[in-house]
Amino acid sequence: MDPALSKPAAAPSLLAGYRPFPGVPDEVVDAAGRVRPVWDAFLRHLAAIPAEDLQHRFGRGDQYLRDQGVYLRQYGAEGSTERAWPLSHIPVLIEEAEWETLTAGLIQRADLLERVMTDLYGPGKLVSDGYLPPSLIAGNSEWLRPLVDVVPRGGHFLQFVAFEIGRGPDGCWWVLGDRTQAPSGAGFALENRVATTRTFSDFYAAAHVHRLAGFFRAFRDTMIGLQADPESRVAILTPGLLTDTYFEHAYIARYLGFMLLQGEDLTVSDGQLMVRSVSGLRPVSVLWRRLDAAYADPLELDPASRLGTPGMVSALRQGSVTLVNALGSGVLETRALLAFLPRIARALLGEPLQIPNIATWWCGQAAERAQVTAHPERMVVSPAMSMRQPFEDAVPVDRRGAALAEWLAAEGEGLVAQEAVTLSTTPAHIDGALVPRPMSLRVFLLRTPDGWQAMPGGFARIGRTPDPAAVAMQRGGQAADVWIVSPKPVEATTMLPPASAPYRRPLPGMLPARAADNLFWLGRYVERTEGILRLLRSRNVRMAESGPVATPLIAAMDPLFKAMGVDPAQGIPAGMISTLGAAISTAGQVRDRFSQDGWSALADMDKTARRMAKSVTPGDDAARAVSALLRKLSGFSGLVHENMYRFLGWRFLELGRHHERAMSMAALLATLADPKAPEGALDLAVEVGDSVMTHGRRFAVATARDTVIDLLALDGLNPRAIRFQLDGIKDQVALLPGAMDAGQPSTLSRAVLRIHTQLASEQPETMTTAALLSIQGQIAGLSDLLADSYLH
């Protein structure tokens, strides 16, 4: 292209150096060098933003992503690491009219894939009639034999699919790959949208860009509509924390208001899939599966799976649950299928594919092998059965002539050749200038009761270099928002129901037993961390006063540290950091139930503690550092206390907190209020118990064993006292499901009442060290009872 022509009048400064590659179509500039109308207004806006302001705006988008905890998990030789979400801030703009043609073609393809799926798990005519080679299916690890002849409830195998598409050299779209197993990226598309609108907030509002919320509302309504009855639930099934898209699972569960479950949360009872909740087994009839099918049922699928639910396939056989998408739909992702779909489309639909897929030759057939050997320079070769992203595992054909023919003849059944991809380019902002970078697009389709509906937008991948293969995010590619631009103003949709519908307060969600367990332990670990920090502060303050010589008082605290697994000689002890780490990992298991602010507070504290651990020395330095950490921790507790919805989840968190605090206070008093404890131990107990001021006000005398025991063990008004914790436990337990069993208090309720009554009847003088230890032991037993009743 003549560079002079590519200098559009609209945004001279910005596009001055923008040079599309010869022979490669560009999203912004057409072949004649003119800016496409859909981009015009946006580029004018962009050009008017001063450079430093633009960086500031990009920073706003990035800040949003960091605040949301959006990150990219990258896999390397040394395991996986998390890095900042690589957002390319310039969105990809597509005209509404072009988008409609494109999505109509993708809807045709979705219908075709549904037909193929129905055949592969039913009559198998595509194979017996010669449209598909049998080895491609029989040798396919995603064609799941136990699912053959299992008809999905409702009749459809596919409810939510995605297509990876790109624009070919002729400017037309083509399909690069089909995503039917458990397409990811819709949640990231939503996050890219929010971050991009933060960047261009003033422009976006009036830019006629189709909103995404309507699609997600349709998604939620469709899932709810698939329920067998209103009593059953919709849930999202995730492989868990270690999967690269877990963030998206938790985010979308929160956004749509669905439970986020792992395989162990589910069980099958009488052919019905049930969630193990704190209220007992409850039916789940719709499961949005983000777990690969082979792992879903260790009994009938991969027996090595630790992520699945034994009996899942039998529940499907009984038609009691809808999986989105059906188990086995991964077979449609097989790369070699692309070679056969054009012909299958004509056979099954009686029409050609409206959007072609990338030219593909399965090398198991002689005619196809001849094609490949004739034009090796235009081809890449990859495994026929690959389900991976396009470009991820393709290699250029480096053999020629006889060597190539021999290779293909020997291993052809396992290979496909594909036309080497060229992708259109779109602007990326690199080093202060817009430069053309290759782009591919993921488009999402949802089957609603009224037919397929496309998300008006998508997930764009932008290459870091001009090489089309570099769009893969694992290879440094970036993500970008996709704007579908209408010539007319668009409807501003939200997730809220239309105003005309009568308001109905939804029932609070159900609490899976595993989530309750994690919340209980989160409460315990956070409280334990606080207890350790308070002990550390008191010790280090005394060290600062007494110098390095360990006084009897300091030595008296040693058993308390030992019980918590902490070496107090370290400034910021590793034992404290690992307890905090345990809090963070339990919090990570319930991220869908938890505010982003709370999560950020914990993560921030962890970061600070680790940094401090490198330099902080015992004594005054440590006392200050620990105080700073205590303030951060109270920030987290405040967020939870002020913001968390007071329902079942909160109750388990509170139970954990009360439980831990009661236990550690009993231990503290048994150690420091023991008659044999050294001088000053009572003051120390009051200080660690954060009750110095209260003690002064209540008793106006120096500490004595009676006053300390009264204030820290028996006083129901002191939020640090054991009694206060037992009041709290009693209140919360009474509100748990099944607290009363046929008019009688449950075993757990009775045990709580017993301890509570006992403590309430104690006097400071009867509250001996032995009595404290006995109370501590009884409270410890509550944890087991609670687990038996609710947490399995």
Partner 1 sequence: MLYDIRLRITYDYDRPAAEGRQLLRLLPVDLPDLQRVQSSALKVDPTPAERAEFRDFFGNRVVQVALTGGHAMTRFEAVARVERTAGRPVPATAPALYALVAEIAAMRGLDAMQPHHFRNPSPRIGAVTEITAYTAKAAKPARDVIRAVESVGLALHRDMTFDPKATTVETAPVEAFVQRKGVCQDYAQIMIAGLRGVGIPAGYVSGYLRTVPPPGKPRLEGADAMHAWVMAWCGQAAGWVEFDPTNACFVTDQHITIARGRDYGDVSPVAGILRTSGHQRSSQAVDVIALQEKPASAAP
Our finding on whether 490 is near partner 1 (CB under 8 A) is no
Site string for partner 1, 131-170 (x = CB under 8 A): ---xx-xxx-----xx-x----------------------
Least Å from the CB of residue 310 to partner 1: 5
Least Å from the CB of residue 269 to partner 1: 8
Our finding on whether 319 is near partner 1 (CB under 8 A) is no
**Dmax of the chain from CA atoms?**
100
Reduced to 3 DSSP states, what percent helix, strand and coil does the chain have, rounded to the nearest 5? Answer: 50, 15, 35
Residue 271's closest CA among 260, 285, 259, 258? 285
Site string for partner 1, 271-290 (x = CB under 8 A): x-------------------
Nearer to partner 1, 412 or 588 (CB): 412
Our finding on whether 310 is near partner 1 (CB under 8 A) is yes
Our finding on whether 563 is near partner 1 (CB under 8 A) is no
Residue from 169, 171, 257, 303 touching partner 1 (CB under 8 A): that is: 303
Structure tokens at 717: 């008004």
| Binding residues for partner 1 restricted to 25-64, rule: CB under 8 A | none
Residue from 116, 190, 268, 275 touching partner 1 (CB under 8 A): that is: 268
Helix 513-546 and helix 648-672, axial crossing angle in degrees, nearest 10: 30
Least Å from the CB of residue 574 to partner 1: 32
Our finding on whether 130 is near partner 1 (CB under 8 A) is yes
Stretch touching partner 1 by CB under 8 A, among 98-106, 293-301, 537-545, 782-790 = 293-301
Main-chain dihedrals φ then ψ at residue 370, nearest 5 degrees = -65, -40
Residue from 63, 101, 269, 615 touching partner 1 (CB under 8 A): that is: 269
For 125, residues 6+ apart whose C-beta sits below 8 A from its C-beta are 119
Main-chain dihedrals φ then ψ at residue 526, nearest 5 degrees = -65, -45
**CB neighbours (10 Å) of residue 761?**
9
Contact 196, 89 (CB under 8 A): yes
Our finding on whether 299 is near partner 1 (CB under 8 A) is yes
Site string for partner 1, 713-732 (x = CB under 8 A): --------------------
Site string for partner 1, 70-109 (x = CB under 8 A): ----------------------------------------
The b-or-e profile of 544-555 (16+ CB within 10 A means b, else e) is eeeeeeeeebbe
Nearer to partner 1, 135 or 578 (CB): 135
Least Å from the CB of residue 509 to partner 1: 26
**What distance in Å separates the CA atoms of residue 311 and residue 284, rounded to the nearest whole number?**
14
Q: Could you tell me whether strands 92-95 and 478-485 are parallel, antiparallel, or unpaired per DSSP bridges?
A: parallel
Q: What is the 3-state secondary structure (H, E, C) of 175-240?
A: EEEEECCCCCCHHHHHHHHHHHHHHCHHHHCCCCECCCHHHHHHHHHHHHHCCCCCCCEEEEECCC
Least Å from the CB of residue 240 to partner 1: 20
Nearer to partner 1, 4 or 367 (CB): 367
- Examine residue 325 and say whether the peptide bond preceding it is cis (omega within 30 degrees of 0): yes
**What distance in Å separates the CA atoms of residue 332 and residue 115, rounded to the nearest whole number?**
11
Least Å from the CB of residue 87 to partner 1: 41
Least Å from the CB of residue 301 to partner 1: 10
Stretch touching partner 1 by CB under 8 A, among 14-22, 105-113, 300-308, 503-511 = 300-308
Residue from 124, 240, 356, 737 touching partner 1 (CB under 8 A): that is: 124
Tokens 């630790």 belong to which residue? 306
Nearer to partner 1, 146 or 240 (CB): 146
Our finding on whether 306 is near partner 1 (CB under 8 A) is no
Instruction: Looking at 680-760, list the stretches that DSSP marks H as alpha helix, in order from N- to C-terminal side.
Output: 681-688, 692-699, 705-709, 722-734, 747-760
Structure tokens at 311: 């009996």
Site size with partner 1, rule: CB under 8 A: 28
Structure tokens at 206: 């009036």
Least Å from the CB of residue 738 to partner 1: 19
**What distance in Å separates the CA atoms of residue 132 and residue 345, rounded to the nearest whole number?**
12
Binding-site ranges for partner 1 (CB under 8 A): 120, 124, 127-130, 134-135, 137-139, 145-146, 148, 267-271, 298-300, 302-303, 310-311, 314, 317
